[in-house]
Amino acid sequence: MGPTPPSDGDMPAMPMPQQETPAVHGMFMFGSDTVFLSHMPMFAMANHQYQVVLQVTLPPDAMNLYRAQKQQHPQAVLNLANPEDEFILPDLQTGTRTQFNASLWPDYTNDGGGTQIGDPFATNVPVHVDQIVHFRHFDPNATRPPNLEYLLFGTATEAHLSHLITSEPDFQHILTLATVPRWAGADQLSGGVELQMPVQSTPIRCVPPQTPPLTGVGSLDVVVQSQPSPVEVDLTGATLVWYSTGNLLNTTDPCAAPSGNGPAPADFTRDIAPLFRPKDIQHMGPDGQGIVDLTSAADVRDHIDDILHQLRTKKMPPPPDQPWTPEQIAKLEQWQTDNFPPIGSATHPPTP
């Protein structure tokens, strides 16, 4: 019996590009009682132009090793790859492939374009695909949605979120919720539910893995296509699985660290945008003080004095939220000193 076909309105199977060949596919592993895999996508490589989420079963001995790794190293990024059993991803969707052999690694890093850390803790493991939760080939003509979109999936006891990747540049973000949303039934979680978040999709936030978009902002009212009104997703205590704009996802990583000697000028996308928390954006935007759109580099530039005043007087955001640190304020001041790269100085007077 082949894998369960997608049930969340995913795109139908697309013709396989002629240049696509059997390949090694890296996948992140997460989940406690049930194991899920998320493929490591790459916009520029035909073999990997897919966002794929799978529910799989491991043999009992491999499952025990996997659980031991998760318990002993809860911050590690468990992952697998199939160096001795290459295949093309469309074979999973068509059911041509329902199983593949893989090695399991205890950790992963972005360094060097992405690589496993350490030695495999299990090799030649048969990985059986129980269900295709999400399978989508990247559309080069896709347009970025105005708000961030995520896929909610899992089981009755554990739920996960994965950012839906659309167009380059983009980011991969996977996290496990502390609690399963009460409104999400087992059938919905099994097939995956697409959520629209009340968070703008641009600019891409170049944040460290400890503070990815959404994490730590509490509960959000999200839009679900199948629900007549917004529903709540509580992100309190969510655990990060992975966040990156690198790992060869983008042809050019928009958040790559500067190279060369000496400090590089501050950059809005890489250095400034990640400083603005969702509550900062709401407080200063049209639904709050109506002062500035903190997601717009030009708007931040044109209202830099107002923003710095709000920060120095600890009015953004209002208590009880934590004010910015002196180091964070200094970074914004440095962006001003560097003449607001990459947009440069204003070509029109700032709005009063």
Contact 125, 99 (CB under 8 A): no
* Six-digit token string for 168: 């380059």
CB 54 within 8 A of CB 175: no
45-70: pLDDT as tens digits: 999 999 999 999 999 999 999 999 99
Would you give the DSSP letter of residue 96?
S
The Cα–Cα gap between 105 and 98 comes to: 22
- Which of 37, 10, 35, 40 lies closest to 23, judged by CA? 40
Each residue of 19-47: pLDDT tens digit? 789 999 999 999 999 999 999 999 999 99
Residue bearing the bigger pLDDT, 93 or 338? 93
Cα 316 from Cα 252, distance rounded (Å): 33
Identity of the residue numbered 244: S
Instruction: Kindly state the average pLDDT of the residues 207-213.
Output: 65
Task: Determine the pLDDT at residue 350.
Answer: 40
- Residues 6 or more apart whose CB falls under 8 angstroms from that of 186 comprise 155, 156
Note whether 173 and 235 are within 8 A (CB): no
327 pLDDT band (50/70/90 cuts)?
Answer: confident
What percent of the chain is modeled with pLDDT above 70? Answer: 86
Quick one: what percent of the chain has pLDDT higher than 90? 53
- Name which residue leads in pLDDT, 2 or 128: 128
Overall pTM surpassing 0.85 (yes/no): no
Q: Tens digits of per-residue pLDDT, 115-167? A: 999 999 999 999 999 999 999 999 999 999 999 999 999 999 999 999 999 99
Greater confidence, 209 or 17? 209
Residue 318 has pLDDT above 90, yes or no: no
Residue 10 has pLDDT above 70, yes or no: no
Q: For residue 135, is it left (φ>0), alpha (ψ between -120 and 50) or beta? A: beta
pLDDT of amino acid 24: 97
In angstroms, rounded to a whole number, what is the distance separating the alpha carbons of residues 268 and 258?
13
- Collect all residues with Cβ–Cβ distance below 8 Å to 267 and sequence separation of at least 6: 335, 341, 342
**Residue 308 backbone dihedrals phi, psi, to 5 degrees:** -60, -35
Q: How confident is the model at residue 1 (pLDDT cuts 50, 70, 90)?
A: very low
